[in-house]
Structure 1
Amino acid sequence: MKKKAFILSISLLFGTAFSQECKYHKVKSGESLEKIAKNYGVSVQEVLKANKNINPNKLKVGESLCIPQKKLAKTKTQDYAIYKVKKGDTLQSIAEKFGVDAQELKSFNNLKSEKVKEGQELKIPAKGTAKKQKKETQEYGTYVVQKSAKLEHVAKKLGVSQRELEELNPELKGKWLTKGTVVKVPKQEQKKEKREESYTVYKIKKGGRLEHVAKNLGVSKEELERLNPELKGKWLSAGTEVKVPVKAERKEPKVPYKTYVVQRGAKLEHVAKKLGVSQKELEELNPGLKGKWLKKGTVVKVPAEEKKQAVRPVEKPLEEKKQESTPKTEAEMPQEKKREDVEVKISKNSLPMPVDGKVSKNGRGINISTDCGKPVRAVDSGRVIYSGGDLKAYGNMVIVDHGDFISIYAYNEKNLVKRGDSVSSGQQIALVGRRNE
C-alpha cells in the first residue's frame, strides 16, 4: 500500500508541475491582481500560487507575472467561430450579437483595448456561436427615429408588431422617443427590405446635402439617409457618390426632346409660354429646374417638334384641284401678306364652322367676322400640337392635328387649350379675338 501511495503522490506532483506552465503578463498602470486574473480566466489564488514573491496589494508597473496555463489550456480546446468585424461594429455590439460577455470576448482574443476595426477577425467562443444559432431569428437591425414617436408608432410605420419592438427595446417601452433615438428592429424585416429595394449610384454635380439630392431626384430624404447613413447631415462635395433607390432613378423620357438655351433670366413657366408648350411637360423633362429661377445660358429640355405633316385647311371644298395635287411637306401658316377678302359660301358637306359669322376667303384660309369673346370650337376631334403667341402677325394661335389634316385657329383673344391636349369635335378651344391690322 505504501508503494502505491508513493507512486500516486509522484503522479500528482507531475500533474502540478505540468499545470504551472506560464504565460507572462506585464503589469500595467492601474491594474489589480483581481483584474488581471479575471482577464485571463483564472483565480487570484492560482496567480498568487504561481507568483509567490509578489505583493498582491501593491503590484509594480512593468513587473512580469506568471499566469497559470491550466485554465488557458482548457480554453484552447474550446471550439470557436471566426467573425469579421463590419463597419459600425463595436466590441459590445458583437458581444451582444453572439450572447457573450464583452470582457470575455476581449480576453478570448487577447485585445488590449475595446476598439475594433473593420475587417478585423475575432474568435467567438463556442457558447456564443451556439447561442447565436439558437436565437438566429432574434437578430436585429436598427432604425433611427425621424420625428418624436412611441414604439407603437414605429411598429406601425415599419409593419412589425409592437410586442417584438418592446422585447428588443425594453428600456424604451412606454416612453416618448425623441428624434435620433436608435430602435432595435427584427433583422428579418431589415433583410426583407434589402431584398426588395436595390439602388443605383448618383454622383453629386455640385455641393449640397442629402435633402437637396432628395428634392432634385424626387425621393424622400429618409430613403437616402437609410441607404447612405455615413452621409447623413454632411455637406457633400462635387463628385460624392450617393446611393439612390432604383425607383427614383431618372428615366429617359419616352418622347424625344431637344434643348433650348435661356436667353435671359426666367422660370420654366416663362419658357413654356414662350415656346408654346405646357409647363407640366417642361417640369417632367427638367425636374431639377422646377420652381427655380433660370439664369442666362441655362439649358432646358423641351419636347421635340412634332413630325411635319401636310396641311389640309378647314375649307377643303374651296381648294382648287390644282392645289390638292401639289404635295405638301410642311405645315404652312397663312401668308403674312394681306389679301382682299372675298365673301364665300361653305358647302353643306364641308366641316363645321369653328364659330358663327360672316365668312370670307383669305389666301389659303378663311376669315370669319364675328363678335370678340365668342367661343371658338374645334372642327373635328384631334390633338393640340401648338398653342401660343410666338408669331405676332397671327396673335394667339391654336393648331390641332386631326390625323389626316391640320386645322389652324388664329387671332384668338385667349387660348383655352395647351399643347398635348386631346380635343373633341365642337369642343371650345379659344375665344374670338381681334385681327392684327
Structure 2
Amino acid sequence: MLRSAMLSLGVLALGGCAGLASWETGERTVYNGKKAAPAAEAPARPERPVGADDHLVQRGDTVYAIAFRNNLDFRELARWNGIGSDYLIRPGQVLRLKPPPPAPRPRFTEGDVETTAAPEADVAPVKSEPITADTPPPPLEPPGAVVVDTAGFQWTWPTNGTVARGYEPAQGNKGLDFTGSVGQPVFAAAPGRVVYSGNALKGYGELIIIKHDEVHLSAYGYNRQRHVKEGDVVTTGQPIGEMGLGPENKPLLHFEIRERGKPVNPVGFLPAKSKPAAKPG
C-alpha cells in the first residue's frame, strides 16, 4: 500500500509539472501544445532625434501613406527629405514633415562695408515646343516602372451605397461616408496604380490608396477585404475591395479624394447624374 501511494504521488507531481512544460520551436514558445502569441516587433531605432515635426519610419510605411496621414503632397515630402523618384524609405529613417529652412545667403566684406549677396533674379519659364513627327521620343521609364495613362479619365462612384455623411472638414470628415451592406463591392473611382494597401493608418481600417496622376489620389477605408496590393494597376469601376464595418460597427466605406495632398470634396469629381443627396449635418 505504501508503494502504491508513493507511485500515485509521483504521477501527480509529473502531471503538475506537465502543466508548466514548455519548449522552444525556433520562433516562439509552446505551452501545452499551443503556440504563444508572437512578441510585438520592436520599433525601429531612429537614425537621429525625432522632433515634433518629424516622422519615424516604421516597417510597412510608404511615402504615400505618410503624406496621406499628414495631408501633404507626396512629391513635396520626398523633396524635403532627399528621397529619389523610386520613393524608397527604410525603417529608422526620420522624415521631416515641413520644408527645411532656407539656406542663408553668403555675406561678403568689401573694406569697411559689409554687403549681402543679391537674391537671384526670377527666370522666365521656358515655353515648351509642340510635339511634332520630328520630336525625339521622351526617355524610357526605368525597368519595372508602371506607366498609367489617366489623361481625360472619368470618375465613378466607389460603391452602390448611399451617402450617410458628406464632406465636412471642419467636423473632421475629409470625404464621403457610404452605407450599404457588409461585403458589397468597393470600386476604383478612376484608373490608376495602387500605392498603399494595408491597415497601418489609424482611423481608416483596411485602407486602399490609388494614385491617378501626379496630382490626384483616392482613398477607400474600412474594407472588410482588400483585393489589390501595392503596385497593381486598376481601371475605373474595377472591384478593389469589400465594404466592412466602421467605428460604430455598422457597414461603412470612407472615401476621399486628395489633390496635391489636400482633401477635396469628392462630389465635385463624381458623375452629376448619380449624385446621391448627402445627409444634412
| TM-score scaled by length of structure 1 | 0.22
Higher helix share: 1
Higher relative contact order (CA 8 A, sep 6+): 2
More strand by share: 2
Q: Which has the larger radius of gyration?
A: 1
Q: Output the TM-score relative to the length of structure 2.
A: 0.34
